[in-house]
Structure 1
């Protein structure tokens, strides 16, 4: 199988955002896009084909999914004559199909749904069971794409055009702990910054140890900055065109990363946690960061 940028598609506005992001990424990588629809992601009523079960309903569901895949393909190729797009409807469950798709090296892209926060001021991004299982178990990078909502395709009468204008991205943010660097995330972040001709901002934050003398804060911050630069040095040598800035400081790591990524094009973090699990910092970032987030294992 040729290496592709794969996106999970179910006809929802969030999956169309993911498809747009995947098309942009595929152009940067010089790879085709693969659209995958697996299992009954959408309530069948959304297809407008009736209710119940049996062969007729299953056939109608397949027709609806094929229409979504075709319309999404038209959406992505409009204005992108060189972009190759393939699509596939599989009988596997969404988690199994997406985990398989995430094992081929290039990113797997999924949509994200946002809801208002409890105080009405901060948005919270929902992490459904499929998303959590895929992020926790994927052997390759998984991107949770975020952007303003777009119209649904299922049942629509027109195909909206691509939402990206091809402009260079401002910068990429990388969350990294020099004591336990996630080398997969570092490599992915440098590659993304190089492809986008973007600046890379490496961020490390930590909480002050109990009993630590605040008078040593500057010294500790200098030491942390030096440790971070040493971790990044081999990757800077491999990507000499990437301009790198380093930010260190005290505070909650997730909050620091969300703030740093507020005006970035992408936030890259390691998955953290035990095998098959998502670390606490990464899980918090996925819930509260309004920028697209790439979670990279290893």
Structure 2
């Protein structure tokens, strides 16, 4: 079965921005686009109210993906676009829909003049439980935002893509996460910026004065290890320019800073199958809430 780029709709500005981003990504991937609207049935007491009846809610629920699909077909001629109306608890339904998708795209409300996302409970739940990559796109995101400035200093969709940024830990790097990032950069014909933020072990950091020689040795060790982790991938993608960065300090803060000049930020989420259940790590959580660019969260073992 052919996978799709699937996007969750709710009629909001952020979900419309997510649908446009998903349409562009579907064209890059050469895959169909599926628009999914989740209809959460109205509880019986509320359904008796004239303006809140189940038929009224279902009408508007069906109208959103239909009109969104019509607009996307006009702006992206030739793209295979389908609509699907599903019923149930939104987070659960979207997690299920993601299983047959190449990736799932959701909208996330922007924080006005402050850079970053407001990730709601549905978005966080989907990110924490989905088996496939999930991309969060904030309201107002436009195609030009993913591209470099044109000669007169204005972002333009005709200009090259900005770099793809990958946040990578090197203790137990995952091939699925790294491969996703290299493929994303390759299909955009842009560079890949790999950011590995690090902090020294506790016995170096506490109770001792800063030793620049020791810190330099640790930085060299981290940089060397990162190069070795990426070596098989740079050989597999020889035409993709790769920049390796090993800054000292909070990985999340460094990735948020890098997002200001990125077309896409990619982070991982380690899948937990133990009694503690699903979990979003602190670095991924920080990036989700504060990144300027769209964020892809890739689940991995």
TM-based fold match above 0.5: yes
The answer as to whether partners of 2:252 and 2:287 remain within 8 angstroms in 1 is yes
> What is the aligned partner in structure 1 of residue 90 from structure 2?
94
Structure 1 counterpart of 2:259, from 247, 258, 261 = 261
**In 2 relative to 1, CA 3–239 (structure 1 residues): closer, same or farther, beyond 3 Å?**
same
Measure how far apart 1:239 and its partner are.
1.7
Superposed CA deviations along residues 66-114 of structure 1, whole A, max 9, x for unmatched, are 2111111122112321111000111122112211122125110000112
Residue 53 (1) aligns with residue 11 (2) = no
TM norm structure 2? 0.84
Residue 290 (1) aligns with residue 292 (2) = yes
> What is the aligned partner in structure 2 of residue 15 from structure 1?
15
Counterparts of 1:182-193 in structure 2, within 5 Å, are: 182-193=174-185
**In 2 relative to 1, CA 214–273 (structure 1 residues): closer, same or farther, beyond 3 Å?**
farther
> Structure 1 CA distance, aligned partners of 2:296 and 2:102?
12
> What is the aligned partner in structure 1 of residue 60 from structure 2?
64
SS at match of 2:247: strand
Residue 31 (1) aligns with residue 31 (2) = yes
SS at match of 1:22: helix
Structure 2 counterpart of 1:279, from 278, 281, 290 = 281
> What is the aligned partner in structure 1 of residue 119 from structure 2?
127
Residue 170 (1) aligns with residue 168 (2) = no
The answer as to whether partners of 2:4 and 2:33 remain within 8 angstroms in 1 is yes
The answer as to whether partners of 1:5 and 1:107 remain within 8 angstroms in 2 is yes
Superposed CA deviations along residues 251-298 of structure 1, whole A, max 9, x for unmatched, are 111001111121100000001474411011101111111110000010
Structure 2 counterpart of 1:78, from 74, 77, 84 = 74
Number of residues of Structure 1 aligned to a counterpart in Structure 2: 274
> Structure 1 CA distance, aligned partners of 2:259 and 2:119?
19
**In 2 relative to 1, CA 209–273 (structure 1 residues): closer, same or farther, beyond 3 Å?**
farther
> Structure 2 CA distance, aligned partners of 1:187 and 1:295?
13
Structure 1 residues without counterparts, runs of 5 or longer? 44-50, 151-163
Structure showing the higher helix proportion among its residues: 2
Measure how far apart 1:54 and its partner are.
4.5
Measure how far apart 1:248 and its partner are.
0.5
Measure how far apart 1:149 and its partner are.
6.7
> What is the aligned partner in structure 1 of residue 240 from structure 2?
242
The answer as to whether partners of 1:99 and 1:134 remain within 8 angstroms in 2 is yes
TM norm structure 1? 0.85
> What is the aligned partner in structure 1 of residue 149 from structure 2?
none
Q: CA RMSD, aligned part only?
A: 2.4
> Structure 1 CA distance, aligned partners of 2:178 and 2:127?
17
The answer as to whether partners of 2:117 and 2:138 remain within 8 angstroms in 1 is no
